[in-house]
């Protein structure tokens, strides 16, 4: 049973995804499966343990759902939303629901059980970014979807349940509230200044680079001024573009380089901490806009989010972004 | 060094509270001190381990900062905001900062090291609610403050660092973004319907009570339609009031009864799970309004919040609120 429900006060949508009559259980102690490559469903040779592949980048002459791939995209075995159905909304008194429609995919980033993005050859690493783009371009054609989120959970504290490096993609039939807030904040700034707020952020960060961690021709990585988390980093293209899927070949290469660099710094400085990263891009049905600027937000999970943060959306960060950036720059 | 910084896109304020030059450390493994009552700073006899009490309800003839109390309010030893200073805002290019002004207090709920609210006598439990109100009424007089959040973190997964039952209070010099969103959502509903959205929720929940967990003369406790978390519960006064600190004596007694009831059901059903609860009330400088309705939100921490939830403000809940309410009603 999967259903989307909307909170009537805040407008926040929630996915209710449950089995009827199942006894309640306390799930918070569940460990990620610290599986060996023998039993790992994401390792080559175990393709039969996953659903059939949607796309894979693989050696010529190798077969679908068999070894020979280096990036493989599959449907999530436990999807939070299902791909079949209509997007009709219906009311129940004052409440709104809709069927739990959406896509939930897993991007297996490498055939090697423990090789993270920073350990991969450039070409192999670039193909992870190409897989993000290819899936986005394809799913965008399905007019039921309004937003696509690409994200990665690394480590148990960040919500990962398998150790084999992977990212996830979720396509949604509405624009989530958090995305609408970011879009609307950026639009207010543009309406007032007639400039993109993210372009302005880049100018300010580069002109006084105490929060900059790394930079190349096309991208800058920095700890944001109002960082919510210690060692939070944003990776932003220098050229204005509201949509990630416009990315071009040289930019994929620059993005891969800077991501490898900053993730490897994070791993060395903090000893492979748990983290999430998230691709922020425009809603699918918004064409190129001057006020929004796609980027990636990397959030190490070093602190616990408790009642105060939940209640206010107000974070307490025990590390200043200036010091975080300094520590990160100093890591070789 | 404590500073408030505002994200220029979303308008979210962050508290940066740090010691300069401290080496980064991975804090996510920190355990709550599973202290015995001998070393617990919140136990009677150890009052010298905390800052001096702000108020306490105590036996006649006993001394300040000595045993004899049953509820004791102190300043947090590690406050996220400090009480001294001005609320001047200043810019830094496009960014906004202000001094980290605010109050951060701890409400020690009982003299007994392990007695939770549901285990206390009614009168003792009511005094916890009175302490919330008394502190709110007092801090409201300080015109630097715009919002007061009262919350409880119970258990390590919910962010608690001490086991002795306690709640916290934070007074802030601005209205946090999450509160503004709730206020503005409620106001939009009122503008359209000319009715309070929370009053309408109560009518709908009571007329078809499949999500109701408990009810008495003055309050109703239910699992909200769009529950973000398994076994999430909202406790709401039946009579419209936008401000918690208007609460009257009979209502304190009804609120205590229903809180004892639902928290004890939660503990029995799930084996003392970690949870947060949060008091949602109007901003301090908003006088009585027809569109907002104070209430308490209880959020058990059974699932991990990962990249998807962070990126979208879109939650996945594996338990339907109807089933959660049924399980909770069945617990005796």
Question: Going by DSSP bridges, is the β-strand pair B275-280/B233-237 parallel, antiparallel, or unpaired?
Answer: unpaired
The total of other beta-carbon atoms located within 10 Å of residue B27's CB is 12
Select the residue of A14, A18, A276 nearest B228 (Cβ to Cβ).
A14
Put simply, the answer to whether B9 touches A157 (Cβ < 8 Å) is no
Contact B206/A at CB under 8 A: no
pLDDT of A2 reads 82
Interface test with A, best of B82, B93, B308 (most A CBs within 10 A): B308
* Chain A residue nearest residue B184, CA to CA: A10
DSSP structural state of residue B80: S
DSSP structural state of residue B285: T
- Residue B263: φ, ψ to 5°: -70, -35
Put simply, the answer to whether B231 touches A24 (Cβ < 8 Å) is yes
Angle, CA of A66, A69 and A75, to the nearest 5°: 75
pLDDT of A278 reads 92
* Chain B residue nearest residue A7, CA to CA: B226
- What is the spatial distance between Cα B206 and Cα B125, in angstroms, rounded to a whole number? 27
Of B28, B1, B32, B30, nearest to B17 by C-alpha is: B1
What domains sit in chain B, N to C, each tagged with a CATH number?
Answer: 2-172 (3.30.428.10), 178-330 (3.30.428.10)
CA dihedral defined by B205, B207, B213, B215, rounded to 10 degrees?
110
The total of other beta-carbon atoms located within 10 Å of residue A25's CB is 14
Instruction: Report the SS3 class of residue A94.
Output: coil
The angle, 0 to 180 degrees and rounded to 10, between the axes of the packed helices B249-270 and B122-140 is: 120
Contact A91/B at CB under 8 A: no
* Chain B residue nearest residue A28, CA to CA: B302
Put simply, the answer to whether A310 touches B276 (Cβ < 8 Å) is yes
Q: Which residues of B touch A280 (CB under 8 A)?
A: 311
Q: Is A284 exposed, middle or buried, given 0-12, 13-18 or 19+ CB atoms closer than 10 A?
A: buried
Which residues of chain A fall below pLDDT 70? 19-35, 304-313
- Residue A23: φ, ψ to 5°: -65, 145
- Residue B11: φ, ψ to 5°: 80, 15
DSSP structural state of residue A33: B
- What is the spatial distance between Cα B61 and Cα B68, in angstroms, rounded to a whole number? 9
Report whether B105 contacts B75 (CB < 8 A): yes
Instruction: Report the SS3 class of residue A118.
Output: helix
pLDDT of B39 reads 86
Sequence-distant (≥ 6) Cβ neighbours of residue A137 within 8 angstroms: A245
Q: Which residues of A touch B76 (CB under 8 A)?
A: none
* Chain A residue nearest residue B25, CA to CA: A270
Report whether B256 contacts B129 (CB < 8 A): yes
Select the residue of A185, A186, A317 nearest B16 (Cβ to Cβ).
A317
User: Residues of A78-97 as b/e, b for ≥16 C-beta within 10 angstroms?
Assistant: ebbbeeeeeeeeeeeeebbb
Instruction: Provide ipTM, 2 decimals.
Output: 0.86
Q: Which CA distances in Å does B262 have to B220, B253, B308?
A: 10, 15, 30
The residue to which tokens 């936008």 are assigned: B242
Find the distance separating the first CA and the last CA of chain B, reported in whole Å.
49
- Residue B261: φ, ψ to 5°: -60, -55
Of A317, A16, A49, nearest to B232 by C-alpha is: A16
Q: Which residues of A touch B185 (CB under 8 A)?
A: 9-11
Report whether A3 contacts A87 (CB < 8 A): no
Single out the catalytic residue among A48, A104, A113, A166: A166
Select the residue of B224, B307, B319 nearest A159 (Cβ to Cβ).
B307
Q: Per residue of chain B (332 residues), give pLDDT as tens.
A: 788 899 999 888 888 887 666 666 554 444 455 567 778 999 999 999 999 999 999 999 999 999 999 999 999 888 888 888 777 888 989 999 998 889 999 999 999 999 999 999 999 999 999 999 999 999 999 999 999 999 998 988 787 888 999 999 999 999 988 888 899 999 999 999 999 999 999 999 999 999 999 999 999 999 999 998 899 999 999 999 999 999 999 999 999 999 999 999 999 999 999 999 999 999 999 889 999 999 999 999 887 665 556 656 678 888 999 999 999 999 98
Q: Which CA distances in Å does A160 have to A33, A275, A300, B20, B22?
A: 9, 9, 13, 32, 29
Q: Is B166 a catalytic residue?
A: yes
């Amino acid at each position: 049973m999967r259903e989307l429900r909307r909170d009537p006060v805040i407008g926040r949508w929630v996915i209710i995804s449950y089995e009827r009559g199942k006894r309640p259980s306390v799930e918070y102690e569940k460990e990620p499966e610290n599986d060996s490559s023998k039993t790992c469903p994401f390792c080559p040779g175990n393709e039969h343990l996953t659903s059939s592949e949607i796309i894979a980048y693989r050696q010529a002459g190798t077969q679908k759902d068999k070894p020979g791939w280096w990036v493989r995209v599959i449907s999530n075995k436990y999807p939070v939303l299902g791909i079949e159905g209509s997007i009709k909304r219906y009311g129940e008194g004052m409440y709104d629901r809709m069927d739990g429609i959406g896509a939930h995919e897993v991007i297996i980033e490498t055939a090697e059980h423990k090789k993270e993005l920073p350990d991969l050859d450039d070409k192999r690493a670039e193909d992870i970014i190409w897989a993000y783009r290819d899936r986005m371009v394809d799913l965008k054609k399905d007019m039921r979807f309004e937003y696509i989120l690409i994200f990665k959970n690394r480590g148990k504290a960040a919500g990962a349940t398998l150790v084999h490096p992977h990212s996830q993609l979720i396509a949604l039939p509405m624009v989530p509230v958090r995305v609408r807030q970011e879009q609307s904040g950026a639009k207010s700034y543009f309406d007032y200044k007639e400039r993109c707020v993210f372009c302005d952020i880049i100018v300010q960060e580069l002109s006084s680079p105490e929060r900059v961690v790394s930079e190349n021709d096309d991208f800058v990585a920095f700890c944001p001024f109002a960082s919510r988390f210690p060692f939070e980093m944003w990776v932003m293209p220098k050229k204005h573009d509201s949509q990630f899927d416009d990315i071009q070949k040289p930019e994929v290469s620059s993005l891969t380089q800077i991501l490898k660099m900053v993730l490897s710094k994070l791993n060395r400085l903090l000893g492979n901490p748990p983290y999430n990263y998230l691709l922020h891009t425009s809603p699918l049905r918004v064409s190129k806009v001057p006020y929004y600027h796609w980027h990636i937000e990397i959030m190490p999970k070093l602190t616990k989010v408790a009642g105060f943060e939940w209640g206010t959306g107000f974070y307490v960060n025990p590390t200043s972004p200036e010091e975080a950036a300094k520590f990160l720059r100093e890591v070789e």
